[in-house]
Structure 1
């Protein structure tokens, strides 16, 4: 995971839903979960950008159903999500960090953990990637690409607090290392294994270049087209 596609494991089921926004340490969080849960994590950004084209197409289809918003479309969207996440012990990063209500219905026993970061630092980091998530976030937060700053971060946190039952929601900063994460999951701190640290700014730049070379930037354009005509999904 992180910058390598994870392979599903037969019999694995989602135990953790990562609700943190991109650039909040989701890659490091994903690596930590793979160690603690002894199974693969579906890190959205990595799986979609570096995985087989069918994965991109299936997520676009899921988003098309999600945009429609009616009951039957919601069921179809959840079928696709369930298929994509089959064989994984956790899911992190976009787009699933914005699909928390749907994931709660699919995986009612999963723990919801939101990775956090200083909002100003997050705002600065998002400049590198926010243009690729315009369509999805415009519907959720009502702002265009280039405008996803600390206000968007605050809206996401507030949305989670309204959406997720208090006893199911945990906030976690990867800078704090193993202890709080292990406590939340009821796991022992791994002996002799440092907490993973993945995805610095230089790594993001290298990944962006990879995306350009592979032509996968089209995903952001398609997602923008899907939700351009719809109104704001949520106002907080």
Structure 2
């Protein structure tokens, strides 16, 4: 997750479906793709938390259609996805990493690249992040913020998507293995690439048919630190907004108390 949402570029050609689970180096992968593909990449975590309110609200709607699984709703869901991702050269991170089948249908020529990580380390990291996302006070603190007031609902529907796919609400190495097996079953072998960001430019450039950038180090983004910074940023915004609201209410109440005695004065 980065600290700034990407801006769509009209006419951009979609090329890569990032199918790696969250916390597998998706932020570094996103930055690398933006360099190699020379266009904006849609990183789900960043776009929904740092983008305009339409981002998170759109994905709640899309995922609700997906979870309900009604055949009649599928064209609407696909159109919403197509509109949301228009102008990007690639997607990474949730929720699109779990929607790669739909994305393959939309972009049959796209390469599917799954970022990987040691399953034990991934399990530990996901558990830490899930605890942060489920803090009991979030709904109240984020309520004054136009987009992030929907964050708890977004996390809820993401959880429903996860359960429908993997049959569990937990993040363990068994689930990680299920995701890898699902990719291998669905995606044609010549279109699927597994990639660890620790390996740097070479394997990624080879998969994309690109030359290794000269004099440009591979981007290393600390996903965990970025997520914590984003959480702190929105919590501060929410508390500041609440302070302003309560301040206005306090002033209004004080003025009202001054006015009321005058009404009953002789």
The structural deviation recorded for 1:63 is 0.9
Equivalenced residue count is: 213
Q: Assess if the C-alpha contact under 8 Å between 1:2 and 1:30 holds in 2.
A: no
Match of 1:138 in 2: 163
Q: Assess if the C-alpha contact under 8 Å between 2:201 and 2:218 holds in 1.
A: yes
Match of 2:172 in 1: 149
- Aligned mates of 2:49, 2:121 — CA distance in 1: 24
Q: Assess if the C-alpha contact under 8 Å between 1:62 and 1:81 holds in 2.
A: yes
Q: Is it true that 1:81 corresponds to 2:69 in the alignment?
A: no
The structural deviation recorded for 1:208 is 2.4
Match of 2:149 in 1: none
Match of 2:210 in 1: 187
**Structure 2 CA distance for partners of 1:11 and 1:177, relative to 1, 3 Å:** same
Deviations 1:202-235 (A, max 9, x none): 33222222344456xxxxxxxxxxxxxxxxxxxx
- Aligned mates of 1:207, 1:135 — CA distance in 2: 23
Q: Assess if the C-alpha contact under 8 Å between 2:19 and 2:114 holds in 1.
A: yes
Match of 1:197 in 2: 220
- Aligned mates of 2:230, 2:118 — CA distance in 1: 23
The structural deviation recorded for 1:134 is 2.2
Match of 2:43 in 1: 43
The 5 Å alignment of 1:81-100 reads 81-100=81-100
Q: Assess if the C-alpha contact under 8 Å between 2:41 and 2:92 holds in 1.
A: yes
Runs of 4 or more consecutive aligned structure 1 residues displaced over 3 Å after TM superposition: 211-215
- Aligned mates of 2:71, 2:94 — CA distance in 1: 23
Q: Assess if the C-alpha contact under 8 Å between 1:8 and 1:86 holds in 2.
A: yes
Rg larger in 1 or in 2?
Answer: 2
Q: Assess if the C-alpha contact under 8 Å between 2:27 and 2:223 holds in 1.
A: no
Q: Assess if the C-alpha contact under 8 Å between 1:78 and 1:102 holds in 2.
A: yes
- Aligned mates of 2:114, 2:94 — CA distance in 1: 12
The structural deviation recorded for 1:127 is 1.5
Q: Assess if the C-alpha contact under 8 Å between 1:41 and 1:88 holds in 2.
A: yes
- Aligned mates of 2:74, 2:91 — CA distance in 1: 19
Q: Assess if the C-alpha contact under 8 Å between 1:13 and 1:89 holds in 2.
A: yes
Match of 1:65 in 2: 65
The structural deviation recorded for 1:140 is 1.2
Deviations 1:12-67 (A, max 9, x none): 02100000000000000000000000000000000011111111111111111112
Q: Is it true that 1:102 corresponds to 2:102 in the alignment?
A: yes
Instruction: Give the CA RMSD over aligned residues.
Output: 1.5
Match of 1:120 in 2: 120
- Aligned mates of 1:163, 1:82 — CA distance in 2: 21
- Aligned mates of 1:86, 1:77 — CA distance in 2: 14
Q: Assess if the C-alpha contact under 8 Å between 1:19 and 1:96 holds in 2.
A: yes
Q: Assess if the C-alpha contact under 8 Å between 1:18 and 1:115 holds in 2.
A: yes
Scaled by the length of structure 1, the TM-score of the pair is 0.86
- Aligned mates of 1:214, 1:52 — CA distance in 2: 15
